[in-house]
């Protein structure tokens, strides 16, 4: 009986030390980059490879649970879209 009490106290102590001593990892948000075939511009029929970057912003949108983001795109070399299927235009 004494052995079970000692094991229980040691286990409880280890749980407390682990819970209070270890801090969760600081999560970081990476900047997602996407490469996809898209039209060169609005109204254009030319398909090009575009890099799209989504960057979270520190803006609060009133009365919404959504977060603001900034979306930037640029035309890049076709080799970046080599693994994706080019749509038929």
What is residue 48's predicted lDDT score, i.e. its pLDDT?
93
Q: What would the two tokens of residue 52 be?
A: 């799209």
**Residue in the structure block whose two tokens are 């106290």:** 9
- The whole-number pLDDT of residue 77 equals 94
- Per-residue confidence (pLDDT) for residue 37, from 0 to 100: 92
Q: Please report the pLDDT score of residue 25 as a whole number.
A: 62
Mean pLDDT in consecutive groups of 10 residues from the start of the chain, 89 residues = 78 72 63 87 90 84 80 92 82
Q: Tell whether the torsion through CA atoms of 32, 34, 40 and 43 is positive or negative.
A: negative
Contact 67, 54 (CB under 8 A): no
Tokens of 25: 């990892």
pLDDT value of position 52: 92
């Amino acid at each position: 009986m004494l052995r079970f009490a000692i094991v229980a106290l040691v286990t409880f102590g280890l749980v407390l030390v682990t819970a209070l001593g270890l801090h969760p990892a600081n999560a970081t948000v990476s900047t997602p980059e996407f490469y996809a075939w898209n039209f060169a511009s609005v109204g254009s029929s030319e398909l090009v490879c575009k890099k799209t970057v989504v960057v979270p912003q520190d803006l609060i949108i009133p009365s919404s649970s959504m977060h603001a983001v900034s979306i930037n795109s640029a035309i890049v070399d076709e080799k970046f879209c080599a693994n994706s299927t080019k749509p038929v235009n």
